[in-house]
Amino acid sequence: MNTHRNLTLDQIDRMSLLHPVTSIADHDRNGPVIYEAAQGARLRDAAGRELLDMGAGLWCVNVGYGRAELADAGAAALKNLSYQHLFGGASCPDTILLADRLLGLFADRAGAGHFARVFFGTSGSDANDTAFKLVRYYNNLRGRPEKKKIISRSGAYHGLTAASGSLTGIPAYHKAFDLPLDGVLHTACPHHYRFAHEGEDEAAFAARMVADLEALIEREGPDTIAAFIAEPVMGTGGVFLPPADYFARVQQVLDRHDILFVVDEVITGFGRTGQWFGTGTYGLRPDIVSLAKGLTSAYFPMSASMISDRIWQVLADTSDATGAFMHGFTYSGHPVGSAIALANLDLIEREGLVDNAARLAPRLLAALRDRIGDNPFVGDIRGVGLMAGVEFVADRATRKPFREGTAPHRIVSRHAAAQGVLARALPFLPVNAFSPPLSITAAEIDEAAD
């Protein structure tokens, strides 16, 4: 019982909160699941039950919950300089050091030494909004104002603000919001298991996907296309790994038509794929990279947009004529977030959490395959690093999908939660996602799979 109006928290929640991405009718019926505490990979709900969080929140608590180092770094920063903006050239030490650290990490750990500047925000969505605006800005500055459209992919997830929600390629997030906005296009989803033709191998499938992309560019007119945005591994869509050759071929098409490559590393950044960045895992050559989630392991809302030399040079060269860069947020480069991000990076390095993700990756797939690989409704179990998906089908032999409206993965999620394991059901295809903290142990993976 809460003292507020003598109601329980459950009742107050139902009367006062509009939950993101939640059915209002279901919530009215079932009420909230209230979590009160967390440590390591485990959450504790209000009834005192422990749940093993195989999602690391929303793919974000990379170092696990309850890390004193991060709390201490945040508390010290709050006491010392609780806020400082970056507008008009103001700055603060940890934010400067964080920008430098990220540029260094990209050069050393992703083989991408061509980044020149870092812009900070507060969420993955706003990082992608920044990318959305930057590619327009870049083309306006270099006298190409007609080159504005951005191509995303069906099944992509890039956030839910008006611009990033338009880049997202999952119809459920567009419905009734009049999205996508004009100027955003979607090309085919390169998920081989579901969308390949019969007998089409990965290389042939990738070639077809990229031919579709180029056909779209040519139909629209290459002079109107500013950028292509992609997650290295599509997360929320269903943990879709890029088919062999896909990104190398995409890059050739982008180069041919002078199109920028925006890489959304909001999930894949900071170790999720078993390497520091998906850019390194898949040998990508981005012009802009969006980072969030693992940047602070969600101990503070913070995002970063990495800006390449190529874009930076145009901004710098035209600066006298264009005046100030009129984009930014109250919380851009927040000193507390920066201190926490630095402590988070220290911790990831000190504990070798990226190596831990790489080491445990085969264990996660093997555990899932051992326990449920023979189930007649399990079509595919796939993953990279500590990011795995289990896709359900009505018929394994033919890969026939379930009827529209049937949601086996939601049933699995409910049953798993009843047994103390959180395994998210995704909104595009019937897939359960597994993306535990990178600090998880082999024993915890086995426990979750059991």
Taking each helix axis as running N to C, give the angle between helix 442-449 and helix 353-372, from 0 to 180 degrees, rounded to the nearest 10. 30
Nearest-approach distance from CB 20 to ligand PLP, in angstroms: 9
Enter the tokens of residue 127.
Answer: 């990082």
Alpha helices in 43-191 (DSSP H): 56-59, 68-80, 93-109, 124-141, 162-167
What does the alpha-carbon distance between residue 196 and residue 209 come to, in Å, rounded to a whole number? 10
Kindly report whether the peptide bond that precedes residue 286 is cis, defined as omega within 30 degrees of 0: no
Mention every residue, 6+ apart, whose C-beta is less than 8 A from residue 233. Answer: 239, 240, 241, 242, 267, 268, 273, 278, 384, 387
Taking CB under 6 A as the rule, does residue 123 contact ligand PLP? yes
**Number of residues in contact with ligand PLP, rule: CB under 6 A?**
15
Residues 232-251 that bind ligand PLP (CB under 6 A): 235-236
Residue 2 structure tokens: 């809460």
Task: Please say whether the dihedral angle defined by the alpha carbons of residues 423, 57, 152 and 288, taken in this order, is positive or negative.
Answer: negative
Distance CA 307, CA 112 (A): 11
Q: How far is the CB of 159 from ligand PLP (least distance, A)?
A: 4
Question: Is 150 or 196 the residue whose CB approaches ligand PLP more closely?
Answer: 150
235 or 333: CB nearest ligand PLP: 235
Q: Does 129 bind ligand PLP (CB under 6 A)?
A: no
The candidate with the shortest Cα–Cα distance to 234, out of 200, 186, 300, 288, is 186
Residue 124 makes contact with ligand PLP by CB under 6 A: yes
Among 103, 266, 304, 440, interactor with ligand PLP by CB under 6 A: 266
Q: Give the x/- contact pattern for ligand PLP in 272-301, rule: CB under 6 A.
A: --------------------x---------
**Shorter beta-carbon distance to ligand PLP: residue 159 or 337:** 159
Q: Which stretch binds ligand PLP (CB under 6 A): 38-46, 123-131, 275-283, 368-376?
A: 123-131
Q: Rounded to whole angstroms, how far apart are CA atoms 268 and 275?
A: 9
Distance between CA atoms of residues 157 and 170, nearest Å: 7
Pick the closest to residue 254 from 290, 210, 189, 220 (CA basis): 210
Q: Which stretch binds ligand PLP (CB under 6 A): 43-51, 101-109, 117-125, 313-321?
A: 117-125
Nearer to ligand PLP, 295 or 393 (CB): 295
Binder of ligand PLP out of 94, 214, 264, 380 (CB under 6 A):
264
- What distance lies between CA 228 and its chain's CA centroid? 16
Token couple for 143 = 């006298």
Q: Which is nearer to ligand PLP, 264 or 287 (CB)?
A: 264
Which lies closer to ligand PLP via its Cβ, residue 133 or residue 369? Answer: 133
Single residue of 58, 141, 179, 248 touching ligand PLP by CB under 6 A: 58
Binding string to ligand PLP for residues 294 to 333, with x set by CB under 6 A, is what? ----------------------------------------
Name the residues that contact ligand PLP, by CB under 6 A: 58, 123-125, 128, 157-159, 231, 235-236, 264, 266-267, 292
